[in-house]
């Protein structure tokens, strides 16, 4: 009898993850590490972020499964509990043995990107009439269909921006940008005064950064991506220094030439 009543009990699909304790501690540590590394606004406003499991999620009709969600606390929520955002994590996904920590970090980073701080028209942090910071939910940078991109290419700026981010991500995973390869890449975009000896003084990260910049400039010169020029004007600091430019990120003469 008791068993039958249990079977009929309504499922509860949310479980708050407390900050302390075995389950909560490592998750919040991961969350706060990402806030400190990449979300300065949330860090400086001490945004209070709760984590909760969401259970029972099923893929939609197109096979898409929600992995996480970021909800901003309403003014009434803030009366009831001390938090500004709650990040809901799909528990089945999070606890799946095939999911890597890198994927978990990316998911938290994604949800944190939705958690934004509001600014007023003067560019100051916005506050409510109790002096608390005001938050907002930021939308995705890109909303698009694969098929449309396959048929029409990078037809608008947000796609171009995204393609650039993908390139950077790919380059990040490259272990080594060779001196000669970078030297050649710079020559093809008209920067010929940088010797291999100078390149050899740059760190791996700096060479990768310059290579990324050069690749993007090359694309712009080829006319493959119409709007890349406006996105890639910031010359990497090490290259600017080698060219004797100020490091404020202005256009190089070489960059203008293309
Ligand atoms: Zn999202």
Res 229: pLDDT = 39
**Considering only 63-77, 101-115, 209-223, 240-254, which range has the smallest mean pLDDT?**
240-254
**DSSP 8-class letter at 84:** S
Tokens of residue 136, six digits:
């907002």
- CA of 131 relative to ligand 1 center, distance in Å: 29
- CA of 150 relative to ligand 1 center, distance in Å: 23
Res 103: pLDDT = 93
- CA of 105 relative to ligand 1 center, distance in Å: 14
- Confidence bin at 227 (pLDDT 50/70/90): very low
- CA of 138 relative to ligand 1 center, distance in Å: 9
Mean pLDDT value of segment 65-79: 96
**Considering only 2-6, 77-81, 163-167, 196-200, which range has the smallest mean pLDDT?**
2-6
- CA of 245 relative to ligand 1 center, distance in Å: 40
Question: CA 221, CA 128: separation in Å to the nearest integer?
Answer: 49
Res 72: pLDDT = 98
Nearest to 115 by CA among 73, 57, 66, 64: 73
- CA of 137 relative to ligand 1 center, distance in Å: 10
Residue 221 has pLDDT above 70, yes or no: no
Residue 233 has pLDDT above 70, yes or no: no
CB atoms within 10 A of CB 204: 11
- CA of 141 relative to ligand 1 center, distance in Å: 9
- CA of 140 relative to ligand 1 center, distance in Å: 6
Mean pLDDT value of segment 207-225: 73
- CA of 54 relative to ligand 1 center, distance in Å: 15
- CA of 111 relative to ligand 1 center, distance in Å: 6
- CA of 113 relative to ligand 1 center, distance in Å: 8
Residue 139 has pLDDT above 90, yes or no: yes
Question: CA 105, CA 109: separation in Å to the nearest integer?
Answer: 6
Question: CA 151, CA 68: separation in Å to the nearest integer?
Answer: 30
- Confidence bin at 107 (pLDDT 50/70/90): very high
- CA of 69 relative to ligand 1 center, distance in Å: 6
Contact 89, 112 (CB under 8 A): no
Res 228: pLDDT = 36
- Higher-confidence position of 233 and 234: 234
């Amino acid at each position: 009898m008791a068993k039958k009543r249990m079977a009929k009990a309504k499922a509860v699909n949310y479980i708050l993850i407390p900050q302390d304790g075995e389950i909560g501690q490592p998750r919040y540590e991961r969350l706060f590490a990402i806030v400190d590394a990449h979300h300065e606004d949330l860090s400086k406003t001490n945004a209070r972020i709760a984590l909760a499991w969401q259970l029972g999620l099923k893929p939609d009709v197109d096979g898409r499964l929600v992995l996480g969600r970021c909800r901003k606390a309403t003014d009434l929520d803030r009366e009831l509990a001390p938090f500004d955002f709650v990040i809901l994590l799909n528990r089945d996904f999070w606890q799946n043995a095939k999911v890597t920590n890198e994927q978990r970090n990316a998911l938290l980073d994604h949800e944190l990107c939705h958690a934004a701080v509001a600014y007023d028209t003067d560019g100051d942090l916005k506050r409510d009439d109790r002096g608390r910071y005001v938050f907002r939910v930021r939308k995705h940078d890109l909303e698009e269909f694969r098929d449309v991109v396959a048929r029409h290419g990078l037809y608008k700026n947000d796609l171009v921006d995204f393609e650039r981010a993908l390139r950077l991500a790919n380059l990040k995973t490259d272990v080594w940008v060779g001196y000669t390869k970078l030297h050649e890449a710079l020559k093809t975009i008209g920067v010929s005064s940088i010797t291999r000896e100078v390149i050899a003084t740059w760190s791996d990260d700096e060479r990768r950064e310059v290579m990324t910049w050069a690749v993007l400039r090359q694309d712009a010169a080829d006319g493959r991506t119409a709007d890349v020029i406006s996105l890639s004007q910031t010359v990497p600091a090490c290259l600017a220094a080698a060219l004797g430019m100020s490091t404020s990120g202005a256009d190089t003469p070489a960059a203008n030439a293309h």
